Chain A
Amino acid sequence: MNDAPQIKPPPKAKSTLRSRLAAVWDSDLAWNFRHSPVAIAAATTTLLIFIAAFLAPWIAPQNAFDPGAVRLDDGFLKPLEVGSTGITHVFGTDSQGRDLLSAILYGTRVSLIVGFASVGFSMVLGVSLGLIAGFVGGRVDALIMRVADVQLSFPAILIALLVFGVGRGLIHPTQHERMAVIVLIIAIGLSHWAQYARTVRGATLVERNKEYVQAARVMGRTSGAIMGSHVLPNVIGPVLVIATINLALAVIEEATLSFLGVGVPPTQPSLGTLIRVGQQFLFSGERWILFFPAAALIILALAVNLLGDWLRDALNPRLK
């Protein structure tokens, strides 16, 4: 009897980790994933793009954000040509002599940073407002949800353009380049919060009358604590699905804004900026300048979308 408690602790830690992993492996979600080739392909692609983009400074042949590293002499090199700096330009170079592969890696990183940050921003905003609306109810609920309705009646890209324009107007012109990414994140973030708010409010309306919430109330917990530590974990599932799909949307929206020339500047290009620049050379034969960034954007958006789609189906109890 005495030996047992002494021996137990070490294997216990091991076994819990292992059993937790085993539990994850055995879960419906993982089983579903293992048996869905589309999900595996999408996840692998997404993961590879993420790794490539975030390791860009180490794996890209050229620092695409350093104008000094680019040689104008190497402009318009075809894919696989070797430039004056000795780099083999696998995807060719653009009009400024910048290696396109490097530009795409760095550009994807900008696009993903904007995507993740704006999704995070709209998620925090939308979930908080949705929780408050659903939990407090009454006039607060009506006010928040009417604002959300108004917002949903505009195309998201219009709202982003509007926010971006106002944002730029407020910032001193010399700061534009530095602030461009932040303004872009806020603009895209603000145009997507309503979806989160609606979803969370709906779920909160269901949850707030359940026994565990009443129990917490009887115990004297504050509304804020109940919302944060009791209701939130129970309504967050669908939010994650929306977030995944919105990541792809945010990346496309960023590309659209940059394509329209209001996004990130050409010296620090995102995928959208690269497509805007490449589009000028569509008629003159240098099609690779447009093709590769556009292909990268399509693959990224498709992979994330498929992953989000699978996640939605896998988490939907009605489809089981």
Chain B
Amino acid sequence: MARFVDTFVSAIVAGALISGLATTSAEARAIKWARSGDALTLDPHAQNEGPTHALSHHIYEPLVLRDHTGKAIPALAESWALTADPLVWEFKLRKGVTFHDGTAFTADDVIYSFERARQPTSDMKSLLSSVDTMTKVDDHTLRIKTKGPNPIFPSNLNDLFVMSKAWTEKNNAGKVQDFKAKEENFSVRNANGTGPFILVSREPDVKTVMKRNDAYWGKGQVPLDITEITYLPIKADATRVAALLSGEVDFVQDVPVQDIQKLSSDPKLQVNVGPENRSIFFGMNVGDKELKTSDVKGKNPFAEKKVRAAMNIIINRSTIQRVTMRGQSLPTGIIAPPGVNGYTKDLDVIPAADAAKAKTLMAEAGYPDGFSVTLHCPNDRYINDEAICQAAVGQLATIGIKVNLVSQSKSIHFPLIQRNPPETDFFLLGWGVPTFDSHYVFTFLYHTRTDKEGGWNATRYSNAEIDKLTVGLTQETDLTKRNQTIAQIWKALQDEVIYIPIHIQTLAYAMKPDLEIPVDISNQPKLKFAKVKK
């Protein structure tokens, strides 16, 4: 428990620090915020996806928030602790908080929202799978009983947003939007949270406007210098940069790597750079009998471990780093970024590029002449995503794997991965770890696809032993033992080469010099902390 006491203490310190700084800034203004892609939906439980949460964080709030360094700080919960019973967590909720429509925030709203987030169509359900019962002690005290002891439970709550029970029921939005089935409900385009900004208007993929919530509970504790946010998805890199250079937007969240240098040297702009808690990797369909998109019939080349090992060797991460990313990435051999509990230097092994060895492996696997397959790639989600895919296509061609590249918008790409069964054999994906614990990676990306787990595991990988160990992690109270299990799982998984890790993204935020927006390690800048200098 020591870790969580630490976290809590530092959270208070961080809070004090922020409120201390809050008094020094005096200017206030509206800003225009540009990013390559839009939030997929405003329904806070429909998609567990970075940019979607990044927008929702301004309107809705979780019980526990992560600041830009990844530290947990109180949001709607003022404090939380285990009770005498190791299965029961008690959350003291903040008093005097109201939703944007004026209704008061109580424990009923939290219970209602968490129940909503556990529905089958919710993408957040894996994070609450260990919850047994939720009890309201009084309006501002909530007890959550877990099925087994779950020492990391509060860190699952960073992106679990609280909706107003009355508002949601009134507008018939109680059922979570089924994003994969292209469903809509009232909460997809409308929002009513407790957050620092109020939704004014939303046109998906065009523009979202939010104005400052003057009744915000955190007024005086956080700077809240931004009076209005206009969020503009601008997909084309050059257009986004041109918009910043011409002054049309104030803040670009994803500066293309090729433009970082130019923007940094511009006196009318400033660029903040920092690593993101996110790895980028390729995934393969290792489980099906046959690949739909391959010329090999009757068998699945990806099911052969030697083929995966050959691909792992032939993809040259250092060239991708140097040319495609212009140095703005950290090549990696594991799909958990450093800083995540479970990451070790020993696991993060990048195989040396060795064309001869890769060819030998392909021949040994029975594919001396290679095979063809379709690679699905997003083109508006990760830094240079399409270029990374193209680079891989070229490198895989040298061992005979003929890749047919399909790159499309993330709103088309992600459902291919999430549908059951998945509709892709080979795909690019990035995964951030907001809980800073390996369990989050195992449960979403390696666990067998079930109703509750493996929601983003499109590899069809299924290993009963790994599943058992993964579920066991949520109930292990002894942190040393728990960490041993994590190490054991990673060792087994790294040996299987289910994914081909490429790199950790480096983020670059560019903004007008009067703005102060630090790089958020989860790439979800929370603009209530943004300061406007004189």
Contacts and interface: CB of A to CB of B under 8 A. Distances in A.
B238 interface: yes
Interface string A141-180: 0000000000000000000000000000000011011000
B386 interface: yes
Contacts of B303: none
Contact of A72 (B237, B259, B391): B391
A96 B237 CA distance: 17
Interface in B209-224: none
A7 B169 CA distance: 103
Interface in B280-298: 292-293
A12 B374 CA distance: 62
B422 to A, nearest CB: 13
A23 B369 CA distance: 58
A121 interface: no
A94 B242 CA distance: 21
B390 interface: yes
Contact of B256 (A174, A267, A280, A286): A280
B257 to A, nearest CB: 9
Interface residues of B, number: 35
A261 B407 CA distance: 10
A265 B258 CA distance: 22
A174 B293 contact: yes
A68 B324 CA distance: 17
SS of A interface (majority): loop
B393 A67 contact: yes
Given A174-B293, A174-B374, A282 B238 contact: yes
Interface stretch (B15-23, B77-85, B117-125, B395-403): B395-403
A72 B406 contact: no
Contacts, number: 78
A70 B262 contact: no
A96 B405 CA distance: 14
A266 interface: yes
Contact of A177 (B242, B262, B391, B404): B404
A27 to B, nearest CB: 50
Contacts of B390: 67, 96, 266-267
B241 interface: yes
A95 B391 CA distance: 9
A283 B324 contact: no
B313 to A, nearest CB: 15
A281 interface: yes
B323 A75 contact: yes
A176 B393 CA distance: 17
B324 A73 contact: no
A32 interface: no
Q: Which 6 A-B pairs have the closest CB atoms?
A: A68-B397, A75-B323, A284-B258, A67-B394, A67-B397, A67-B393
Given A266-B405, A280-B258, A283-B238, 9 more contacts: A66-B397, A67-B393, A68-B398, A70-B394, A95-B323, A265-B407, A266-B390, A267-B393, A283-B262
11 contacts: A68-B397, A72-B320, A72-B323, A75-B323, A174-B292, A177-B404, A177-B405, A177-B406, A283-B258, A283-B262, A284-B261
